[in-house]
Amino acid sequence: MSVKVTESVVAYDNWECGNHYQLDCKVVFETVVGQSYSVQRIRYGKDFMAIKVTQTGVSGWIYAGK
């Protein structure tokens, strides 16, 4: 499974960072527009979908939608 990024987004160190109330989140990398990323894991919640991807050996969580 893979996900294609259509706009630049940041990838966080923790899937819970999609929650605006989560503190101490670290950005691990920024995605490249038009790049496809291999999906490592997906976490679903009531209002979100977090997708774990890897870029140059570093894993991070991105979020579906804006």
Q: What is the pLDDT of residues 21-47, one digit of tens each?
A: 677 889 999 999 999 999 999 998 877
Q: Which residues contact 3 (CB under 8 A, 6 or more apart)?
A: 36, 37, 39, 51, 53, 62
pTM of the full structure: 0.85
Q: CA triplet 60, 64, 65: central angle to 5 degrees?
A: 135
Please state whether 57 falls in left (phi above 0), alpha (psi between -120 and 50) or beta: left
Give the pLDDT confidence score for residue 39 in this predicted structure. 95
What pLDDT band is residue 65 in, cutting at 50, 70 and 90?
low
What pLDDT band is residue 20 in, cutting at 50, 70 and 90?
low
HSE-CB for 2 with a 13 A CA cutoff: 8
